[in-house]
Amino acid sequence: MTSEIDVGQRTDTAGNGRAGGRRMSTGRLGDQIFAHSARGSGVVLLAIMAAIAVFLIWRAVPALRANEANFLTEQEWNPNATPPVFGIAQLAFGTLMSSFLALLMATPVAIGIALFISFYAPRRLASGLGYLVDLLAAVPSIVYGLWGLHYFGTKMDDVGRFLNDYFSWIPLFGGDSVGGRSLLTASVILAIMILPIISSITREVFLQVPTANVEAALALGATRWETIRMAVLPFGRSGMISAAMLGLGRALGETIAVAMVLSTASGISIHILKDGGNTIAANIANSFAEAGETGRGALIASGLVLFVITLIVNMGARAIVARRKEFV
């Protein structure tokens, strides 16, 4: 689709070039303008990425120098103390844990929604439903935060207690001081927030499945579900992974909703029902205002870590997608 638009624009510019010139022209000027502007956009993107990385490193280094603890393994975050002691371990753990759980909950539901809208729902219902899912993406994250803090969190309090009472033999659900402002609550809210992006991209991917493949499966005597399994899901595999990764990217970076829901407590704990936990982004939002010189540097250093985590996640996703490339 993008390439079609590109071609359209190119001929357009070429046409303008011809109209401007007196002689017959093949429109090479238009071609060049287009090529340069496209290249320019690419370069600007790289420059922005580089500028962000340089800024983060430049501001982070002094704080990291002053740090008395090992930045990667230390769990405490006291950059404003003298001497400053802070580390990323707990924050990175909370970030990865909550995002991973969110992805785990959101992906199956999102794919289910996309499948339902694309293949099962009657057409009139399908378009309305698709619109509704997209609308979910338009809810500001502060609203999710408020809702999570004042309504959903209180409900999750009971859910947490229930899980803790009956399933505490599962390490994740063990521990005490169970409450609604836990990593689990944050994960569920994150899951709701990343649902629309995963679902709408997956739906786009399903729309790309060639009719010929679907008909081939049907003509072999496949039921609807078998057709989906045979022609749709394998074809959409890389697209679905990309969609999930975009969702994960959003979950990793989500700030304000998580900052509002979690009641900050220190220390790594795998007990996700426990009140507390923290993430990199939420920590930055909560502590930036009152941080001193070293404190800000330390927060920027944590931002750098978030940047790197996101980068690794994306590269991982690309590797997965590329592995079976010859088949799609």
Applying CB under 8 A, the span of 39-47, 207-215, 275-283, 308-316 interacting with other proteins comes to 207-215
Contact between 289 and other proteins (CB under 8 A)?
A: no
Contact between 326 and other proteins (CB under 8 A)?
A: yes
Smallest distance from the beta carbon of 322 to other proteins, in angstroms? 15
Contact between 4 and other proteins (CB under 8 A)?
A: no
Contact between 49 and other proteins (CB under 8 A)?
A: no
Closest CA to 5 of 82, 263, 13, 125: 13
Smallest distance from the beta carbon of 321 to other proteins, in angstroms? 13
Closer by beta carbon to other proteins, 62 or else 234: 234
Applying CB under 8 A, the span of 2-10, 164-172, 210-218, 250-258 interacting with other proteins comes to 210-218
Applying CB under 8 A, the span of 61-69, 219-227, 241-249, 289-297 interacting with other proteins comes to 219-227
Smallest distance from the beta carbon of 117 to other proteins, in angstroms? 15
Binds other proteins (CB under 8 A): choice among 12, 68, 215, 293: 215
Binds other proteins (CB under 8 A): choice among 146, 218, 285, 313: 218
Contact between 125 and other proteins (CB under 8 A)?
A: no
- Cα separation, 149 vs 157, in Å, equals 11
Contact between 237 and other proteins (CB under 8 A)?
A: yes
Contact between 116 and other proteins (CB under 8 A)?
A: no
In angstroms, how far is CA 22 from the centroid of its own chain? 52
| Amino acid letter, 237 | R
Contact between 235 and other proteins (CB under 8 A)?
A: yes
In angstroms, how far is CA 32 from the centroid of its own chain? 36
Percent of the chain that is helix, strand, coil (3-state, to 5): 75, 0, 20
Does residue 21 sit in helix, strand or coil? coil
Closer by beta carbon to other proteins, 34 or else 235: 235
Binds other proteins (CB under 8 A): choice among 210, 267, 292, 316: 210
Contact between 124 and other proteins (CB under 8 A)?
A: no
- Cα separation, 96 vs 279, in Å, equals 8
Buried residues in 180-211 as b, exposed as e (16+ CB within 10 A) = bbbbbbbbbbbbbbbbbbbbbbbbebbeebee
Closest CA to 113 of 204, 209, 208: 204
Applying CB under 8 A, the span of 74-82, 102-110, 141-149, 230-238 interacting with other proteins comes to 230-238
If binding means CB under 8 A, how many residues of this protein chain bind other proteins?
Answer: 23
- Cα separation, 167 vs 164, in Å, equals 6
Residue 56: CB atoms within 10 A of its CB come to 19
- Cα separation, 99 vs 241, in Å, equals 15
What sign does the CA torsion over 264, 265, 270, 274 have? negative
Residues of this chain that bind other proteins (CB under 8 A) = 123, 210, 212-213, 215-223, 226, 230-231, 234-235, 237, 324, 326-328
